[in-house]
Amino acid sequence: MFSAINDMLLDMLAAVARRDYEQRRERQQQGIARAKREGK
């Protein structure tokens, strides 16, 4: 029982971490594109 709960929590944390990582990468790419447009 506890193993299943632990696995579920780890899966949830991994999903949140992955989402955060993807959002940071997207914002970084947007910033790079903006800087290129502005000639920086």
Q: Which of 18, 33, 32 is nearest to 10 (CA)?
A: 18
- Full residue range of the structural domain in which residue 38 is found: 1-40
Query: What's the start-to-end Cα distance of the chain, in Å?
Result: 55
Per-residue pLDDT, 40: 80
Domain count, the chain: 1
CA distance 39 to 37: 5
CA distance 17 to 34: 26
* Phi–psi pair at 14, nearest 5 degrees: -65, -40
Whole-model pTM over 0.85: no
Q: Read off the pLDDT of residues 1-40 as tens digits, 9 standing for 90 and up.
A: 889 999 999 999 999 999 999 999 999 999 999 999 999 8
